[in-house]
A and B are shown apart, each in its own frame.
Chain A
């Protein structure tokens, strides 16, 4: 890989150990993906919840934070994905002091590096959306796919260590989605059943992701009769990335790089239909009417202020079933707004709990499930029902309205 003089100085350790580690890490990764050089990035977003980071990652981060201020300070604005512990509400969930302490230690180390603790996976709705052609280094697959697809930004999936390396250097290896040739369509799908509502968009994303099936496939989707809202696009992308490891899609005539099929090379590809049967088949693998529900979860991705209002409107004046819990995860900025606007109060008056700066599946989902006896979980997030099967849950999928009605009834309605 070609390095400029400043990057060579970093590699030689002349700008401190954290930046030496960062360049060395990027060279290992860049070599595997044939990166010719490094590309400057305008922003970095790091996924580093305590469950995945663990004691080992926390010690690693504390080691970084132990260096002098000049050596450890990130070089470009760097923000964070949801945390694993809401430090204002963790004991009632069955989270332990050990979990909270890892959280506290990791956050303290991040702050020493000058990382902005935004704790959100909807930064494109709440912090600073990237723009067309903007090279960034984002973690969280949902963030990456949204920003690549809806905004036209350029990012690979950057796991926590690589995001940290990008933050310390202001660069990332130039491979994958930073290059034009990896942004052209490789699969072409025509939607034959129009999605209606957030869950339908998630199911469509899941079907496309599962069919596309690899990080290196770029699905182009045609046949949509309406432009999705930001929240709908969020569920579409999050599910697609979760089922397919997919980092970019194009909606022909809608997303910025795909004014036409020809603009992204999709006109040369054979089109496959996505039918009602395809969507129903995916839905049918999750839960059925009359099943008891232990917990209803709204998360993955965190809710926007608009979704918070929708939940509040649907739950107003009702009480949750005595045997059913309900959790709503949102970002700290949305939480503050939703509190000020009375939405949090309305949701919690029904017996639900709004969590701030976390996302359910990133907060020791297995352990909190066991601590609370939660097994049957209902959500409107196609992403979360995909993930939680591996965490000892029996997840079911329903739209927001049915989720809330089920939380009140104590069973899937």
Chain B
């Protein structure tokens, strides 16, 4: 069975992968060890988890302008999430996604995306269409 989730038009190419979900927020500067590819902030709900190759599903972006450069740097380094889905992205993460050509979508019509998708589910992301498909 698959479930279609409509969202706002996003940024980046179509991608698919395994979801990693938390009802927490996101900053590349504050929350990540980008050399190891894991969440490094002890207070973060995904502390210790690897984000490499995952479809991250989080509430919103917080703080740090630096994240705009960091997504590009993470992608070049080869340790990066395939996509990030937010309830509400902030400008920085969207700008970072545009430079890095990393997929990003937000504003889901069906409500809180962190409750609509569960960790481990297989997700297809179509930013140009404003569509995310969850395989169950």
A interface residues, Cβ below 8 angstroms from B: 25, 28-29, 31-33, 47-49, 51-57, 60, 81, 139-141, 156-162, 176, 213-216, 241-245, 362, 386-387, 389-390, 392
Contacts and interface: CB of A to CB of B under 8 A. Distances in A.
B111 to A, nearest CB: 16
A49 B65 CA distance: 11
Closest 4 CB pairs of A and B: A159-B68, A56-B76, A54-B73, A52-B66
B73 A213 contact: no
Contacts of A387: 29-30, 63-64
Contacts of B66: 47, 49, 51-52, 159-160, 362
Contact of B64 (A31, A48, A141): A141
17 contacts: A25-B99, A29-B11, A32-B104, A33-B94, A51-B66, A54-B70, A81-B65, A159-B67, A159-B91, A214-B88, A245-B25, A362-B66, A387-B64, A389-B41, A389-B42, A390-B31, A390-B44
B63 A141 contact: yes
B95 A60 contact: no
Contacts of A31: 9, 11
Nearest to B94: A32
B25 to A, nearest CB: 8
A161 B88 contact: no
A216 B61 CA distance: 11
A28 B97 CA distance: 9
B8 interface: yes
Contacts of A53: 69, 73
A57 B73 contact: yes
B115 interface: no
Interface in B21-52: 25, 29-32, 40-44
Interface string B45-88: 00000000000000011111111111011011100000000001
Q: Give the interface centre of B68, B88, B104 by most chain A CB atoms within 10 Å.
A: B68
A57 to B, nearest CB: 5
Contacts of A157: 65, 90-92
Contacts of B63: 141, 241-243, 245, 386-387
A29 B43 contact: no
Contacts of B67: 52, 159
A25 B98 contact: yes
A242 B25 CA distance: 12
Given A31-B9, A52-B29, A159 B89 contact: no
Given A215-B61, A390-B30, A159 B92 contact: yes
Contacts, number: 130
Contacts of A390: 29-32, 40-41, 44
B91 A33 contact: yes
B75 to A, nearest CB: 8
Contacts of B30: 386-387, 390
Contacts of B69: 48, 52-54, 57, 159-161
A390 B8 CA distance: 31
Given A52-B70, A214-B88, A159 B60 contact: no
Contact of A56 (B25, B61, B72, B92): B72
Contacts of B61: 215, 245
Nearest to A361: B29
Contacts of A141: 63-65
A350 to B, nearest CB: 31
Contacts of A140: 65
Contacts of B94: 29, 32-33
Given A159-B96, A389-B42, A60 B88 contact: no
Interface string B1-16: 0000000111100000
Contacts of B8: 32
A162 B89 CA distance: 15
Contact of B95 (A49, A158, A244, A362): A158
A159 B73 contact: no
A215 B40 contact: no
Nearest to A165: B95
Contacts of A159: 65-69, 91-92, 95-96
A41 to B, nearest CB: 14
A80 B9 CA distance: 32
Contacts of A176: 91
Given A32-B10, A57-B72, A161-B99, A139 B65 contact: yes
Which of A47, A157, A243 gathers the greatest number of chain B CB atoms within 10 Å?
A157
A48 B69 CA distance: 8
Contacts of B25: 245
Given A33-B94, A57-B72, A387-B30, 13 more contacts: A47-B66, A48-B69, A49-B66, A53-B73, A55-B76, A140-B65, A157-B65, A159-B68, A159-B69, A214-B88, A389-B43, A390-B32, A390-B44
Contacts of A392: 40
B14 to A, nearest CB: 15
B77 A56 contact: yes
A46 B124 CA distance: 34
